[in-house]
Each structure stands twice: as C-alpha cells, then as structure tokens.
Amino acid sequence: MTVYLLARGCQKITKLTSDNVHRRYTYDVRTHDPYAALRHPGYRWALACHIVTILAAQTQGTALGWLLYEKTKSAAALGLSGLIMFLPVLILAMPVGFFVDKRSRKHILLTGIGILTAAAFAMMFLAETDSPVSLLFLAVGLSGIGNAFLSISRPVIMRDSIPDIHAENGANWSSLSRRFSSVLGPVIAGGMIAWTGAAATAFLLAVFCYFLGFIFSSRIKTLPRPSSREPMSLHALTEGFRFIGRTPLILSATLLDLFAVLLGGASGLLPLFAKDILHVGATGLGILRAAPSLGSGIMAVILAHRPPLKRAGLSLLFAVAGYGIATIVFGISVSPALSFIALFLIGTFDAVSVTVRSTILQLFVPARFRGRVFGVNMIFIYSSNELGDFESGLVAEFFGGPFSVVLGGSAAVVLAFLFGWKWKELRELKRMKIIQEPV
C-alpha cells in the first residue's frame, strides 16, 4: 500500500511537560517520507514480529471460540474464556510495565512470545485429544500470561526502534499491519476448521506464527536509552496510573474506550451468531470475525492519506456513537450480509477511535515511564475486550445473544454523549501536533 503525501510548509511542534509548561519548536516537513519508519532495521524486525504475532492471536482466538462453543454450546463459556484471558493481564500489567521501563525490553518480549507458543501448542494438543474444557481454560490462562508480557513490551519496543520524529509514521504502519493480520487470521482459521473439521490445525498455524515472531524479535536492535536502577516500589509501580489520572485528555479518551467496548462489544458472541442465528458455519465465522478488521484497515488507509483530523475530539466521540449504532444493527440482524456490513462499520468507526487514542498516547507520554503507562493502557484494553466478552456472554446466557448486543450498543451511544458533555478537554481537542519529549 503505497502512500506518497506532501506536507505543507513548516509544522509547529509543541513540547508538553508533565507540569504543563509549553515551549514551541519548528520542524521542516515540506517533504514527507511515508516509509520513514521502515528505513530503520530495528523497526522492520519489530513490525514483522507484530504482524505474525497478531496473525497468531487472531487465528488462535477464532479456533478457540469455535472449539469452546462446540464443546459447551454455552455463551457463558465464551465469556468465561475472556475473563480468564484478562486476569493475568490485570495482575501482571504494573510489574511488567515497570520492568519494561527499567530492564531489557527485548528479553520481556521474547519471554512473552515463548509463553504464547507453549499455550497455543497446549490448545492444539487438547483439541486433538478431546480433553476436558477445564484443561482448555488452563491453556487460556497461560496465554493470558504471555499476552501480558508481549502486549506491553511490543509497542514500547516499536516506539524505541525509531527516532521521535518518526513516531507518528511508525504508529500508522503498526495500525495498518494490525488490521491486515486481523483480517487474514480469522479467514484462514475459519477456512482451516471448515476444511479439516477440527480446530487443531488452526492452533498449529498459531504455533508456527508465534515461532516466527520469536525469530523476528530476536533480531530487533533498539536505539540506545538511559539505564535506570530505580528499585521496584508501590510508588514506582503506580506511576502510570498517576500520570493518566493527572492528564484529563488521556484519562477521558481511555475511559470512553473502556466503557464503550466493555458494554458494546459483540465479538465474543460471534460463534453463537454464526452457528445459531445466521447459520453460516465455521467459514462464515471466520468471515464475520474478519469484517471489523477489514473495515478498520480501509479506514486506516483513508486516514493515512488525509491530513490530521481537524476536530480529533469530536471525531472520537462521533466514532464511538457510530460504533454503538452499528452494534445495534448487528444485534437485530438475521441476514448474514447485513451482519457483515454492520461488523464492517463497527471496525470502521473503531479505527477512528483507535487512531485518535493511540496518537494521544504516542505524543503525550514521556519515555521514562512509557512502559508503565502502556501497562495501564493494556489493563483498560483487556478490561474492555475480555471483560466485555464475559459481560456479553453472561447477559446472552440469560436473555439471548441479540438482546445482549443491542443493549451494549445502546450503552455505547449514550456514553459518547455523556463523555462529550462531561469532558471539555476531549470535546475541544483539535488537530494534534507532534510532541517533543521533556529532557
């Protein structure tokens, strides 16, 4: 996907320190290089690791959802797997974030991929041997531990692999790559399950992709950074929480995403919709799971081609409201085509939300505790995604899948209006500038 953009004039750069002191710089960006981040070898290896590990996670997630629902026929079981995946992240996010800031980030990344490889292999073995569901949940918990290491260290390493001035370009490539893998993984997994009649082959593909990720990550060479021997303490561990708490813009954007996805998520119930409502089978499940990522990918390309959003805050609020409306449409649909379109739109609106939130994090978080802030961010992300699946599954168990999804979508719409009314910092956020780090 070739992107050639011509920037205009000189772009003013704002330096924002933690005590709200502003200084101004100018940076000449008359000629924009869309491949600036890719010209750094460390970033190329990190991006390759990013692509294959996301592909592995999406393949594994599709196979796991299908296998669990096939074994249990229970929406609650689908939700429980999300809860089990989330708990290790909740427990480990702060200490892993601390060590990402203070120790070897590369070693933490390799450890996470190694654990994920073992978990995917265990799932493959359990699927092949028709083992009890309880053992499958243990493998899900192991995968959650690996995710805690990988998901916190990977974005920080990708950010460290390039100079500050190319951070925004690197974020664009990371976002596009995530969408690509998120489209491809579910489609491949669904096709493999339909072709073989079993989920074990999809888990095998996940093992292979994680193994490639381990090889790619071992080749990463990040830029030098100051070392620190700060001891672990409660004060040091909670620095990420305190920074977010005293930065209203980051706090409001993060909480909005947390509650909107927590209440409005429908992805955890896709196996139920594919089998019992839309009757599209494993292949249809893969296509449905790919639909949001396809919408996200197309929107990410559009956003990359256009100038920065002039009213970023309002764009985020309208995107969350659109996400909720599309979720409601999916919940009431009994047509596979309409359901695909609704999921496509869910991904499209989510891409706008993710772009604004990730840019805020990239530009406003100092490097000295970036790992801890990303650790807190992962708690919020997993809270919304995995706990959202648990909440949706629990409601669906008692009231049905469509009611659960429609209720969640309605909540997302209401939240968008409430946050827009409550948080002036978010509502009035305009075009975001590149932020220089405090020295």
How high is the pLDDT of residue 33? 67
Residue 68 has pLDDT above 90, yes or no: no
How high is the pLDDT of residue 360? 74
Region 106-121: mean pLDDT is 92
429 versus 30: which is more confidently predicted?
429
Torsions phi, psi for 250 (to 5 deg): -65, -40
186 versus 144: which is more confidently predicted?
144
Residue whose token pair is 């193994």: 211
How high is the pLDDT of residue 419? 84
Lowest mean pLDDT among 40-49, 50-59, 128-137, 256-265: 256-265
pLDDT in tens, 128-154: 887 788 888 999 999 999 988 998 888
Q: Percent of the chain, pLDDT > 70? A: 80
- The angle formed by the CA atoms of residues 14, 244 and 384, to the nearest 5 degrees, is 120
Band of pLDDT at residue 161, cut at 50, 70 and 90:
confident
Residue whose token pair is 């992300």: 381
Domains of the chain from N-terminus onward? 10-436 (1.20.1250.20)
- Which helix H or strand E contains 130, and what residues bound it? none
Helix (H, G, I), strand (E, B) or coil at 189: helix
pLDDT in tens, 282-302: 778 878 878 887 888 788 777
Helix (H, G, I), strand (E, B) or coil at 78: helix
CA distance 281 to 405: 20
Residue 4 has pLDDT above 50, yes or no: no
Residue 111 has pLDDT above 60, yes or no: yes
pLDDT in tens, 20-33: 323 333 333 445 56
Greatest mean pLDDT among 183-192, 299-308, 375-384, 388-397 lies in: 183-192
Greatest Cα-to-Cα distance within the chain, rounded to the nearest angstrom: 63
Torsions phi, psi for 283 (to 5 deg): -65, -45
Residue 439 has pLDDT above 70, yes or no: no
pLDDT in tens, 300-312: 777 766 666 677 7
Token pair listed for 250: 């980051």
State the average pLDDT for the chain.
77
Band of pLDDT at residue 113, cut at 50, 70 and 90:
very high
Give 380-417 as a 3 state SS string.
HHHHHHHHHHHHHHHHHHHHCHHHHHHHHHHHHHHHHH
